[in-house]
Amino acid sequence: MGAQLRVYRRRIRSVQATKKITKAMELIASSRIVKAQQRLNASMPYLTLLNSAISAAASHASDVSKHPLMAKSADGTRAAVLIVTADRGLAGAYSSNVIKEGESLTRALTERGVQVVPYVVGRKGVGYYRFRGRVMAGEYVGFTDLPSYADAKQIGEDLLEAFLRPTSEGGCDEIHIVYTYFTNMGSQQARVRRVLPIEVVDEVVTSESGLPFPLYEFEPGPEAVLDGLLPRYIDQTVYLALLMAAASEHAARRRAMKSATDNAEELIRTLSRQANQARQGEITQEISEIVGGADALSA
């Protein structure tokens, strides 16, 4: 019985050590979520104003449908898919949900007769594709928990170069991003967003005050302005997806570590009860042996 009690105590010490680690990781993830949210909120106004500037330039351009980033054949044959996963684990089903969404998109495009060209961010996604022997057009690792604009710019340049290249030379007709949309600390969802070609919609747009937008004069011209703004739009869109994915990763890791800490506490309580029962059984056995020995001597 003493050996069994030692086993319980050893397991309790082991679980307590694990609990300290998971609790520390939970606190670290909680602090990083706040910083990721601040970076995400700081980048949103720029993208909003960039969209407004592109809309204004497109409305004054002679024929935006002829722009290379807006004029692509409807029956495309190749599509680039950027899948944003995590570099590290211990984040629950965060990476697997993104990969599943990417697989669903791949099946949908394949059924249309479109060949998918994957671009993968994060070691989890890269490992998934390498294990299955799939060729990736781009691999980006080492920055998923703290992405920078330089990382997004590199990815955006690769995607834009593939889009502008003819399909006969290995180019793509469409660009899609699969990432995790961050709503709040308790809600994140894997989503798909088509980045290129940019969809042009004819509609009357008013400002936030309800008044029409003022007239603009473009120098040297709206077409030249579009040429300068659209590549920045691609980079900023990729950057926003990376920031949302980073915030979602920290939120998923905090939630997973909190669940692990709670499970460790429950396991410690269970093992403590079992150890107390074993100790009580050992004491009862010793008392019985003493009483039995005393009875034997008195007889």
92-130: pLDDT as tens digits: 888 899 999 999 999 998 988 888 899 999 999 999 999
Average pLDDT value for residue range 159-176: 84
Yes or no: say if 241 and 179 are a contact pair by the CB < 8 Å rule.
yes
- Tell the CATH topology of 27-199+218-255: Pyruvate Kinase; Chain: A, domain 1 (3.40.1380)
Say what the pLDDT of residue 179 is.
Answer: 93
Yes or no: say if 23 and 257 are a contact pair by the CB < 8 Å rule.
yes
- Same CATH fold assignment for domains 2-21+257-293 and 27-199+218-255: no
Say what the pLDDT of residue 112 is.
Answer: 86
Yes or no: say if 190 and 178 are a contact pair by the CB < 8 Å rule.
yes
What's the rounded Cα separation, in Å, for the pair 237 and 152?
9
Domain segments of the chain as ranges: 2-21+257-293, 27-199+218-255
86 Cβ neighbours under 8 A, 6+ residues apart: 94, 95, 122, 123, 124, 144, 145, 245, 249
Q: What is the pLDDT of residues 37-88, one digit of tens each?
A: 888 888 888 877 777 777 766 665 555 556 666 655 556 788 899 999 998 8
Yes or no: say if 77 and 173 are a contact pair by the CB < 8 Å rule.
yes
Q: DSSP letters along 222-262, please?
A: HHHHHHHHHHHHHHHHHHHHHHHHHHHHHHHHHHHHHHHHH
- pTM of structure: 0.81
Eight-state DSSP code of residue 91: S
Say what the pLDDT of residue 68 is.
Answer: 61
112 Cβ neighbours under 8 A, 6+ residues apart: none
Average pLDDT value for residue range 193-199: 79
Rounded to 5°, the CA angle 28-143-25 comes to 15
- Tell the CATH topology of 2-21+257-293: Helix Hairpins (1.10.287)
Yes or no: say if 225 and 218 are a contact pair by the CB < 8 Å rule.
yes
Mean pLDDT of the chain: 82
pLDDT greater at residue 200 or residue 196: 196
